[in-house]
Structure 1
Amino acid sequence: MRVHFIAIGGSAMHNLALALHHKGYEVSGSDDAIFEPSKSRLAKYDLLPPELGWFPEKIDTQLDAVILGMHAKPDNAELLKAQELGLKIYSYPEFLYEQSKEKTRVVIGGSHGKTTITSMILHVLHYHDREVDFMVGAQLPGFETMVHLTEENDFILLEGDEYLSSPIDRRPKFHLYKPNIALISGIAWDHVNVFPTYENYVEQFEIFADSISRGGILVYNEEDAEVKRIAEAATAPTRKHAYSTPEYSIEDGETLLETPEGPMPISVFGKHNLSNLAGAKWICQHMGIDEDDFYEAIASFEGAAKRLEKIGETASNIAFKDFAHSPSKVAATTKAVKNQFPDRKLFACLELHTYSSLNAEFIKGYKGALDAAEEAVVFYSPEAVAVKQLEVISKEQIEVAFDRDDLIIFTDAEAFKTYLKQQQFDNAVLLLMSSGNYGGLDFDTVQELL
């Protein structure tokens, strides 16, 4: 089967390209910008386009499918050629559904926690040598790609993103999967550039719950009032299973999970991660892993990349980075780190990087989000605001939004790096929260700061 990717360099797109290559498909692709690690990973399997740009001559009637990435524009020359020839054009989620129509589809949805829950489930299945197809939004230890597709596996595990499917398909990705088993972890308004109101955003999860195959199963976080309401109203699933945060304790910086066999030390920490673990346990049980086997496996789970990932440690200091950007996730992550290390001074640094977090109205939701930290820092780039064509945000607006008099604000990347270098960390925790890199911070060098 011949498949061509328009915008092959994206994180999700290049992983799907690799998965199809491993499956035996003939894969080609184009892009106008490809960065690491996509570049090296595509080159390893001779899938890296020889030159950057869009080339309509690559599109011909011998192609069985064209897969369109979000990075491409609706007037992309290759897309226009594919439409002119009447070729089958798939969005990323549409193609995944096409590959899994005959499988049991397990879809993990939620504004936050979905990558961690999907990663936990995959870790447990991998630990017990259970083979499944999958798509997850982070690189995991022991897995070469973030996408794995076969003909023979019965299950496919999909991280259900609510963002748009493609430039010409404005439906949220998770509306296309039609799960047999689904999970909703929590709802906190995000993607304000696409879903301008909270009600509009919540509606996407209602549609997701209604998209469950008849006779399907819905697992949901009953501690989230909006999720609980949606789950209880859903008519598509015939079975519903609520979960909540399990009992746990913290001793000397170590989290102990209460199990039927007694307290068990685990590597992940924070109330939100324990909640994620409870959801993952339910899904694993529906996939044939009993409770004892789940606990045995989850003890060795160390987290997904960029999700409270330890990036430096000395005898007296420790540093984490986390993908947190929405107000609820920033608050939960900051609180979790403080609870885990109550006797250490917490430096919490947040980069406002996403479209939502740079929105003048949206930032009002950050009130109190960094209150658990002794020292709170916010970094944002005025250039990023301009590129996203948003109204200018002032330092004063950010101070008011976070409602913290001692908030430190940086708009210059070098000034922020200098601040980090000047700190005399002593019995401290450095928490770096961003979906970006603070204007060029090399996270591999953070150990040197401690």
Structure 2
Amino acid sequence: GAGAPLRVYACVDEREEAERVVLEIQALEAHVPLEEIAVFYRVNAQSRPLEDALRRARIPYHIVRGRSFYERAEVKDLVAYLRLALSPDSDEDLLRIVNTPRRGIGRRSVEALLAVALAEGTSLFRALVSPALEAKVGARARRAMRGVHDLIADLHALTLEERSPAAIVAAAIRGSGYVDALRAEGSAEAEARIENLDALHTAAMERGEAGASLADFLEEMALTGEADDVTDASRRVKLMTLHASKGLEFDAVILVGMEERTFPHGRAYGSGSGGEGSDPEAMAEERRLCYVGMTRARRELVLTWAGARLLMGRRQVREPSRFLREIPEALIDPACRWQRRRSRVFEAGLGVGQGRRAAFEALAEEAEALAEEALIPGPGEAVVDYTFDQRPPEERPSQVARRGARVWHRTFGEGRIVAVDGHGTRARLTVEFEGVGRKRIAARFVEIR
């Protein structure tokens, strides 16, 4: 028989979109088996917020024709750098990254490093700068080993300064040269891996905003994995890219990221700024891929899009995909009452609360605050330090974070400062939030009352 009308949902950002996916799955589960529910996305990096939300909701899932976000090689490599930032003497982590990306430290040089560490009874980190290595490895390898040592020492210093998880992730990505090495490959696979590193940086930003330290962030990732309370491994929601969906069918499909430059992907625009861009063939392929995804649904199809996404460390505002706008209104469930332009997303017709509307309006302000930690620039892109207040002195806010001051945070609500570490926008506050407890958070994310 005929399927149900399409459901289309506009969301504030990728986090709310992931929450919407959870709600849809919970509603579908009443009449659709979990294994007959699939979530599609354009690129692998989009799975991270979805996996986090599903894990929190204890919904079992399986990545089809791919790996879970936290099991991807580049993510595990960066996590090794982060663990070394906390514990430089972690030999296992150092062995993983000592020549990742490739920096001229070959197998024989690593064997020499191991031998020196064993002979001196020290860690591999300390052995990297041991004089005993000079006679065992070449000049190029010695320089590379010194560089690895210095990078780890610099990252460790950031942890001692209690810098945010995002700042340390960004420093690890830059200092390691990981993104530069991937860009030099110039392949679609390398671009996908860069997107995964960006998604890890975004996760660190989100956790840092909530007051988490790097140690907290790493602990949460260590506990992350596909739901482990599944008795029947087949009863899992399926997550996959649109390319992986070819040839498959499901009773219900949720297709996320239906925004311009997410889907269709930014590559389809070529160097153009709008319309069909300068690559009509690529745009046509994106449209065919959208058709493939939509036609994988036997009975129910849900489409979501986000008004803003954190990408490359910056909050980027999005418009709904042209593929959404091309769907006849008659096919869409009227109860959704979705809007076809971002500027109208949070009008009363959507039925969202004042809090959600205020959150969306705050995104532009948040983007500037987060720019300090946006350390994954595009090729040739300058990095601006927004922590320097360029306004005239008479226009700068006079409020100063002091112990005992009352503050407001858009997630945790009202609170009182119990400790201040640092100055200005770089200050880290310890705040006792009413009904939430004590959180350590960056000063720029609270409003002093």
Band of TM-score, shorter chain = under 0.3
Point out the structure with the larger strand share: 1
TM-score normalised by L of structure 2: 0.26
Larger Rg: 2
TM-score normalised by L of structure 1: 0.26
